[in-house]
């Protein structure tokens, strides 16, 4: 591309960026009450009812996409692939899968879409292909030749500067060893800060920057509602907004001083959740560890294979092991339904 064309392209892209950035800070008349809240959700859309099927376990263990693939395999193919997976889960290669290895595995299956997103952008930003992304590489790729002076429009110019400042602050926060260069893990934290404990403060700060319009370092009821809802020509507040007003006072404002401070904003946008991956790891080990040494051998897992992965047989119940499965299921039902 010749330089002028490139410049124009960057400029166009940037305008797009700026306008979407402006939009992101604007409220719509549609219910946007949940837009700030980062939830990780459950491991599967299926109910966890092992008495009926193992869909929940399959999706938790494999991720949704791979669980579908396994459902198309014969039991033999399925077990073969499972055996290979076990080798990958067993990080220290001691021949056993323990709780921490399984917990880590399940968490990563759930984070796969994030890793895919990072991979997608990696090559684009890693200009010199050293498998790291420096701040300058990121800045050049995203903002090109722009310095912010090119905008005629004052609002655009300010927005551009705000974007750059925000990006730079976030990059610094993600760059844990402060060398100005992001590894893959650090770049993942940059693109998806809500996934990382050490980025919590920054996520809260960015939320504050968006909502705290008068800049007094706390969120009042008008700022809180204003972020979700803007009435259009005298429109009455819908019920969900009234509910949100109550939530502000009754739930979010824990110290009842009429404002949300950083800690309260953190509780709101990054709620502490049940660690589903932890529960599922415990559950799978409990069901599989027949000799009760609190870890699973490859043999134990393969005996219990259809709890971990699907196949045509487990789908349609035509397998020879069906009788056995039914007995196991009966036993499991009791255990699972205790809680
Ligand atoms: C479980 O596996 C992890 C990772 O391989 C290892 O560091 C840890 O020591 C293991 N824990 C036990 C109790 O064996
Ligand atoms: C970024 O762009 C500037 C100005 O065009 C250039 O001097 C610099 O070498 C570039 N940096 C990287 C890492 O590509």
Q: What sections of 126-197 are H helices per DSSP?
A: 135-143, 154-174, 184-191
The position carrying tokens 């392209």 is 9
Both tokens of 63, joined, read 């991720």
DSSP string, 216-229: SSSB-HHHHHHTT-
Ligand in closest contact with the CA of 128: 2
Atom of ligand 1 nearest to the CA of 99: 1
Q: Pocket residues for ligand 2 (CB within 6 Å)?
A: 127, 134, 136-137, 140
Ligand in closest contact with the CA of 98: 1
Considering only CA atoms, give the Rg of the chain.
Answer: 25
Query: What pTM did the predictor assign?
Result: 0.69
Ligand 2: which residue has its CA nearest to atom 4? 145
Question: Rounded distance, CA 139 to CA 127, Å?
Answer: 11
Testing ligand 2's pocket by substitution, the residue of 6, 128, 133, 136 carrying the most ligand atoms inside 8 A of its CB is 136
Testing ligand 2's pocket by substitution, the residue of 140, 144, 181, 182 carrying the most ligand atoms inside 8 A of its CB is 140
pLDDT digits (tens, 9 = 90+) for 100-158: 999 999 998 888 878 888 998 899 999 999 999 999 999 999 887 666 677 778 888 88
- The whole-number pLDDT of residue 73 equals 95
Is the pLDDT score of 331 beyond 70? Answer: no
pLDDT digits (tens, 9 = 90+) for 67-109: 999 999 999 999 999 999 999 999 999 999 999 999 999 998 8
- The whole-number pLDDT of residue 71 equals 93
- The whole-number pLDDT of residue 11 equals 57
- The whole-number pLDDT of residue 319 equals 43
Ligand 2: which residue has its CA nearest to atom 14? 137
Question: Rounded distance, CA 66 to CA 78, Å?
Answer: 11
pLDDT digits (tens, 9 = 90+) for 34-80: 788 887 777 888 889 888 899 999 999 999 889 999 999 999 999 99
**3-state SS class at 181:** strand
Write out the chain in H/E/C secondary structure: CCHHHHHHHHHHHHHHHHHHHHHHCCCCCCCCCCCCCCCCCCCCCCCCCCCCCCHHHHHHHHCHHHHHHHCCCCHHHHHHHHHHHHHHHCCCCCCEECHHHHHHHHHHHHCHHHHHHHHHHHHHHCCCCCCCEEHHHHHHHHHCCCCCCCCCCHHHHHHHHHHHHHHHHHHHHHCCCCCCEECHHHHHHHHCHHHCHHHHHHHHHHHHHHHCCCCCCCECHHHHHHCCCCCCCCCCCCHHHHHHHHHHHHHHCCCCCCCECHHHHHHHHCCCCCCHHHHHHHHHHHHHCCCCCCCEEHHHHHHCHHHHCCCHHHHHCCCCCHHHHHHHHHHHHHHHHCC
The fraction of the chain above a pLDDT of 90, given in percent, is 60
Average pLDDT over the chain, rounded to whole?
85
pLDDT digits (tens, 9 = 90+) for 208-236: 999 999 999 999 999 999 999 999 988 89
pLDDT digits (tens, 9 = 90+) for 299-309: 999 999 999 99
């Amino acid at each position: 591309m010749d330089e002028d064309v490139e410049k124009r392209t960057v400029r166009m892209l940037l305008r797009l960026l700026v306008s979407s950035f402006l939009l992101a800070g604007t409220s719509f008349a549609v219910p946007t009450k949940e837009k700030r809240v980062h939830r990780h959700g459950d491991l599967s859309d299926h109910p966890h009812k092992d008495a009926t099927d193992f869909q929940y376990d399959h999706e938790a263990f494999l991720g949704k996409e791979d669980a579908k693939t396994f459902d198309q395999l014969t039991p033999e193919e399925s077990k073969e692939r499972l055996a290979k997976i076990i080798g990958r889960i067993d990080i220290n290669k001691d021949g056993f899968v323990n709780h921490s290895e399984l917990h880590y595995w399940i968490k990563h299956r759930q984070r796969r879409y994030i890793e895919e997103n990072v991979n997608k952008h990696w090559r684009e930003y890693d200009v010199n292909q050293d498998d790291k992304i420096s701040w300058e590489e990121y800045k050049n790729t995203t903002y090109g030749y722009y310095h912010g002076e090119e905008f005629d429009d004052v609002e655009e110019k300010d927005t551009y500067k705000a974007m750059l400042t925000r990006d730079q602050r976030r990059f610094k926060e993600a760059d844990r060893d402060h060398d100005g260069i992001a590894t893959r893990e650090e770049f993942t934290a940059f693109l998806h800060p809500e996934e990382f404990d050490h980025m919590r403060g920054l996520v809260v700060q960015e939320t504050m920057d968006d909502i705290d319009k008068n800049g007094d370092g706390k969120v009042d009821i008008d700022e809180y509602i204003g972020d979700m809802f803007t009435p259009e020509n005298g429109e009455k507040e819908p019920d969900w907004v009234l509910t949100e007003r109550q939530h502000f006072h009754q739930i979010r404002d824990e110290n009842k001083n009429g404002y949300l401070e950083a800690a309260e904003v953190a509780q709101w946008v990054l709620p502490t959740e049940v660690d589903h991956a932890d529960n599922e790891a415990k559950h799978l080990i409990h069901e599989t560890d027949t000799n009760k040494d609190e870890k699973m051998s490859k043999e134990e897992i393969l005996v219990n294979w259809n709890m971990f992965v699907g196949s045509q047989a487990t789908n349609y119940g035509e397998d020879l092991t069906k009788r056995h499965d039914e007995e196991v299921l009966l036993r499991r039902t009791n255990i699972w339904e205790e809680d």
